[in-house]
Amino acid sequence: MDDTTFAVLGTGGIGRRTLDVARHKDGLTPVAACDRNGVAIDHQGLDVDELLDATEGNIASGPDEASGDTPATPTSDYASDGGAAAAEGATAGGGVKQAGEGAGIVASEQGEPTDAPIDDVIAESDAIDAVLLALPNLEHDFIPRIAERFADASYEGVLVDVLKRSRVIGMLDDREEALVESGITFVCGAGATPGFLTGAAALAAQSFVEVEEVKIWWGVGLKSGYEDNRGTVREDIAHLDGYDVETAREMSEGEIEALVDEHDGVLEFRDMEHADDVLLERAGICDAEDVTVGGVLDVRSDEKPTTTTVRVTGRTFDGERGTNAFELDDATSMEANVNGPALGYLKAAVLRNRAGDYGVYGPAEIMPSF
């Protein structure tokens, strides 16, 4: 495969690791990255070492009145900051400011401050083969609206997101005509779950002619990465009983810490609204209602609190009933399991895009078909 130029929107916990992991994949050149305050663009290739050093413990995840994109609907883009309200003025790792002017990418020699980071990347998108969206999605239509903006600019290339919630997929489908017209191949939900584990379920289903049940159970230990993964933790809280995206978005950092304390740092989730269900249904593998997703997040230990597994139960053509299981090693981190697959799906999508295959795909569709 020829060299692929790519951009990362959002350089928080996930986006920073995307740049890091991409160095270990063949033929990927990062040419643009942005966060809520700034943008870095170099068509010859960004200096990833310098960018990662400058943003270590300094990811601009908190809100900043002057920041964000030039929003079509200001409240939505503001809300999509990961909502880390009380991170304003907070310091992390070596006392580097996390919010306000000077936070995030603008601390890099390659970064420029901007009021419209995403538009700045779109303006350069003629020379960008693929874009990975590592943005928070506390506003359901945030990522679909960004896809629309790329289509409005007649972008021809790949978009990949790592979103989690089922209902976003329908919003992308609603925009599919515009995406196809523009020449966009969009792979949605291409992180770990959904993403890697959805793809694993699609593969595990190949033994069967009828799938009865898919059970996804994940474990994440985040002690060392908690500061750098606040967006992810906040979005996960929205899946707890008694919480939703609105309440999670409004919580102050202190309230989040109190909630984490109440649970001794360990949050357990059952029946999460994760898009694995609709993504498996759209690939024809099973009904969405036959998929359950849950897991355990420990923000006080790097050890995974439980082993991540995918179990697919079904019937074979010759009348047997069985369960195929896929298990991740406890030594593999959440970041490794989101970014390896996200970049893998990105590369697969570039091949499709170059073949003229446009539209919205889920991770289970870029696998053997059912």
Site for ligand NAD in 53-92 (CB under 6 A): 59-61, 68-69, 77, 80-82
Is 239 assigned a catalytic role? yes
**176, 357 contact by CB (below 8 A):** no
**Site for ligand NAD (CB under 6 A): which residue of 164, 239, 249, 304?**
164
Output DSSP code: residue 191.
B
Told to check if 293 binds ligand NAD by CB under 6 A, we report: no
Minimum distance, C-beta of residue 59 to ligand NAD, in the bound complex (Å) = 5
Told to check if 340 binds ligand NAD by CB under 6 A, we report: no
Is 24 assigned a catalytic role? no
**216, 164 contact by CB (below 8 A):** no
Pairing assessment for the beta strands 157-161 and 184-187 based on DSSP bridges: parallel
| Catalytic annotation, pick one of 97, 139, 148, 164 | 164
Residue whose CB is less far from ligand NAD, 111 or 117: 117
The tokens of 186 are what?
A: 């969009």
**Site for ligand NAD (CB under 6 A): which residue of 30, 100, 111, 117?**
117
The tokens of 45 are what?
A: 């290739």
314 is in an annotated binding site: no
**222, 299 contact by CB (below 8 A):** yes
Size of the site for ligand NAD (CB under 6 A): 39
Q: How many Å apart are CA 175 and CA 173, to the nearest integer?
A: 5
Is 255 assigned a catalytic role? no
Q: Does residue 129 sit in helix, strand or coil?
A: coil
Bridge-partner residues for 230, per DSSP?
Answer: none
146 is in an annotated binding site: no
199 is in an annotated binding site: no
Q: How many Å apart are CA 77 and CA 54, to the nearest integer?
A: 25
**Site for ligand NAD (CB under 6 A): which residue of 157, 194, 221, 344?**
194
Told to check if 12 binds ligand NAD by CB under 6 A, we report: yes
Residue with the closest Cβ to ligand NAD? Answer: 12
Residue type (1 letter), 120 = D
| Catalytic annotation, pick one of 97, 239, 274, 304 | 239
Minimum distance, C-beta of residue 362 to ligand NAD, in the bound complex (Å) = 12
Residue 315 CB-density burial (10 A; 0-12 exposed, 13-18 middle, 19+ buried):
middle
Residue whose CB is less far from ligand NAD, 283 or 314: 283
Site for ligand NAD in 196-255 (CB under 6 A): 229-232, 235
Q: Does residue 225 sit in helix, strand or coil?
A: helix
Catalytic residues: 164, 235, 239
Q: Which residues are annotated as a binding site?
A: 10-14, 231-232
